[in-house]
Each structure stands twice: as structure tokens, then as C-alpha cells.
Amino acid sequence: MSLGEFDLIARIRARVQQRGDVVLGIGDDAALLQPPSGRQLVVTADTLNDGVHFPGETAPADVGWKALAVNLSDLAAMGAEPAWCTLSLSLPEADSAWTDAFLDGFLELARQHDIALIGGDTTRGPLSISVTAMGFIEPGRALRRDAAQVGDEIWVSGTLGDAAAALAQLGGHGDAALRVRLDRPTPRVEVGRALIGIANAAVDISDGLLADLGHICERSGVGAEIEMTSLPASPALQQAFETAQRWSFQAAGGDDYELCFTAPPSHRDELLRVCESIGVAATRIGRIVRGSGIVALDADSRAWQALRQGFDHFSR
């Protein structure tokens, strides 16, 4: 069924859950929000374009999930607590079935993290979804890219490479366990919160480990050494791909939305303890060193050459 813009907005409004700090949500010219005193506001935005950030065949509920997940992942990488988000939808037509299914995925994840949808915009155009997410952080406590120290150990949450492997399997007989990591990434919000005071620097892995760890190195003025043999892989990935291909997915494939973070060796035990209590694996993959750039060592401690660096929209 095709509806008008205002019917679509009314449909969205009817389904959102509110929070006590939303003074005025969807329905006016702008939202009114009451940030808690003594906290800093953390703001991030990310857009998903049809065919670029998700395969055209992706179920609308998965698109909804992912649109919010990639933003929650950025809040997680700062150590922030999610609070509010906006949703700007560009749709080829005002399709209520598509929008309802999209909201199923979007609002399911929103409920899990108690983040309220407080406004947005609805326009006609090529399918594209823009979300802005806002959260809170204790002043001076954010996990920044520019705070890695020489001697820090480098860690990642969860496992790497599944999403890139699923992308490589598109069109063929895909593995469902890999595909779900591409379609429904898990933002590591709890891990990010728990790492405050433990980790020095953090980034979420959206463009590939080497690319995103590269951002930490650049911003912190340090280098990194990682061991390819220590990169965590899911059972599904280990089963489906040989080492060389697997390493390239794990080190250079995007869309994992795990956290990569650095912490002093003296924090190792506490770090492992908090991640275990959350139920998310943390794996030590290398160390921060003097200099610049990343050296990835293979099983024989020789430099491993990536087949392809992380994803960059404007490079070819």
C-alpha cells in the first residue's frame, strides 16, 4: 500500500518507545530533550545507501537493524551510553509494508539499548537511510582514537571477517551464520561502556581492522604490530575459508562492527574479567610501538601483505 508522507510519519510515531528525558518527541518542528547534568553529549551520524552499504536483496527488517547498529557501534567506540536517535528516510515510494518491516528491525535493536527515536525526515528519492545517534559520557572519559600509548596491547572484541566473507558469498550458496553477521551486526555498547578507565583508545571496525587500527595509529602518532595468527575467527569462517582468504577478510574486510582497543598490559586481567562478565570474547592481537603504520606478521614472523586495504568509498 502506498501512503502519503504524513501517514508514514504517523505510522512511525505510533510505534516508538519514549524515555523520561524526551520532553517532546516526534510531531513538532523539532524535539525537546533534557540531557543529564554533568555529562557530555556524544553525537554521531551514518548513512546507508541501497546497494552500497547493504545488498539490494537485504530484507527491510535487516536494513532497519543495521541502520541503527552502525550508529550504536560508533557510540560504543566512544564508550558512550545511547539515549536518542533521529531517522531520515529517503524512499522511492511511501511503501507502508516496507516501512513497517524496516521499523521491526530498527525498533527491536532500539529497545535492546533503550534508545528513543525522537525525530527525523521523510522524503522521496533513491532508497537511503540516515541515522543520527546521541548518547552521554562522563566528561573526560571518552575512548578516543588519539590516546593510544607505546607499550599498549591491542585487542579486538568478538570475531573478525564474517561480514566480508558473507559479502564474498553473495550470489552463491551463502553460509547463514556468516550472513547474519553482515545483516545484523551486534554493536558492542556494553563492552565500550565497560572499557572506560581500562582502555586508552578505541575504534569500531567498520572499514576493516587495518584501516581502522590505522586511524588510531595516525591520530595517536604511534605504530602497531599485529600477529595474523592471533586474529579471532568464528567457527563458520574457519570452516568455509582457507587461511590466506580468511586472513584477508579478518584484516581488511569491513562491516564487522567489533571494537578494536588498546590498553596497558597492567590492565589485562581486569579487561578480560569485564569482557567475560559481559559474555563477549576479547582477544589480544598485537601491541602499539614507536613509529607509524601497521606491521602484520604471519606465522613465521614475516610481514604479511594484505590483498586489499579497508573499504574507502572514493578509492578504486
User: Which CB atom, from 105 or from 119, has the smaller least distance to ligand ADP?
Assistant: 119
> What is the C-alpha to C-alpha distance for residues 139 and 42, in angstroms, rounded to an integer?
10
**Cell numbers standing for residue 131:** 541515522
Beta pairing class for 201-204 and 128-137: unpaired
**Positive or negative CA dihedral for 162, 167, 171, 172?**
negative
The helix/strand/coil state of 234 is coil
User: Which CB atom, from 32 or from 244, has the smaller least distance to ligand ADP?
Assistant: 32
Q: Which residues bind ligand ADP (CB under 6 A)?
A: 9, 12, 26-29, 87, 89, 117, 119-122
Q: Which residue is nearest to Mg ion (CB)?
A: 121
In the complex, minimum distance from the CB of residue 69 to ligand ADP, in angstroms, rounded to a whole number: 17
- What residue 83 binds from ligand ADP, Mg ion, none (CB within 5 to 8 A, per partner kind)? none
Q: Which residues bind Mg ion (CB under 5 A)?
A: 121
User: Which CB atom, from 87 or from 251, has the smaller least distance to Mg ion?
Assistant: 87
Count H helices and E strands in the chain, helices first. Answer: 10, 12
In the complex, minimum distance from the CB of residue 222 to Mg ion, in angstroms, rounded to a whole number: 44
- What residue 36 binds from ligand ADP, Mg ion, none (CB within 5 to 8 A, per partner kind)? none
User: Which CB atom, from 42 or from 91, has the smaller least distance to ligand ADP?
Assistant: 91
User: Which CB atom, from 130 or from 157, has the smaller least distance to ligand ADP?
Assistant: 130
In the complex, minimum distance from the CB of residue 206 to ligand ADP, in angstroms, rounded to a whole number: 23
User: Which CB atom, from 119 or from 253, has the smaller least distance to ligand ADP?
Assistant: 119
> What is the C-alpha to C-alpha distance for residues 30 and 227, in angstroms, rounded to an integer?
49
Q: In what order do the strands lie in the sheet with 116-124?
A: 40-49, 128-137, 81-91, 116-124
In the complex, minimum distance from the CB of residue 89 to ligand ADP, in angstroms, rounded to a whole number: 4
In the complex, minimum distance from the CB of residue 28 to ligand ADP, in angstroms, rounded to a whole number: 5
- What residue 87 binds from Mg ion, ligand ADP, none (CB within 5 to 8 A, per partner kind)? ligand ADP
Residue 134 host element (H or E): strand 128-137
- What residue 89 binds from Mg ion, ligand ADP, none (CB within 5 to 8 A, per partner kind)? ligand ADP
Count of alpha carbons within 13 angstroms of residue 63, beta-carbon side = 27
In the complex, minimum distance from the CB of residue 9 to ligand ADP, in angstroms, rounded to a whole number: 4
Count of alpha carbons within 13 angstroms of residue 27, beta-carbon side = 11
Q: What are the residue ranges of helices labelled H in the chain?
A: 5-15, 60-78, 96-112, 162-168, 176-183, 189-194, 209-220, 235-240, 243-252, 268-278
